[in-house]
Amino acid sequence: MASVAVERCPDSGALPETFWQRMNAITDEIRQRAFSLFEGRGRTIGMDLGDWLQAEQEVVWSPASELVEKKDDVCARLALPGRPWSRKLGSSRSTR
C-alpha cells in the first residue's frame, strides 16, 4: 500500500482552492464561453441551452485516458473521437 506524506501548510495563502471556489470558476468560464458563442451567432435569441451545453463540453470535457506501464515503458492511451491511438512516453526504469 502506498503511503502519502501529510504536512501542515505554513501559511493560509498557500492553501488550495476550496471545491466551491473551483466550481464557481468553472461555471464562470462556461458562462463566458456560452456568451461568446451567442455573440458569434449574431446574438440570435433562442439557442441559449445549446450555447451552454457546447461551452460546457469545451471547458470541462477531457478524453478518456489511461497510463499503461510495461516492463520498461509507459504508454498513454487517449480515446479521441475517430482517432484511437496511444503514444509511448518513454522509459519508466526505476532507480530504486
Q: Give per-residue pLDDT as tens, 57-84.
A: 999 987 778 888 888 888 877 777 766 5
**For the chain, the helix, strand and coil percentages under 3-state DSSP, each to the nearest 5:** 40, 25, 35
What sign has the CA pseudo-torsion 31, 35, 36, 40? positive
For the chain, the structural domain boundaries read 19-61, 63-96
How far apart are alpha carbons 34 and 60 in whole angstroms? 13
Say if pTM beats, i.e. exceeds, 0.75: no
Q: Residue 93 — very low, low, confident or very high, per pLDDT cuts 50/70/90?
A: very low
| CA–CA distances in Å: residue 72 to residues 18, 26, 85 | 38, 38, 20
- For the chain, what percent of residues have pLDDT higher than 70? 68
Which pLDDT score is estimated for 94? 45
Residue 31's closest CA among 58, 10, 9, 7? 58
Q: What is the mean pLDDT of residues 14-23?
A: 76
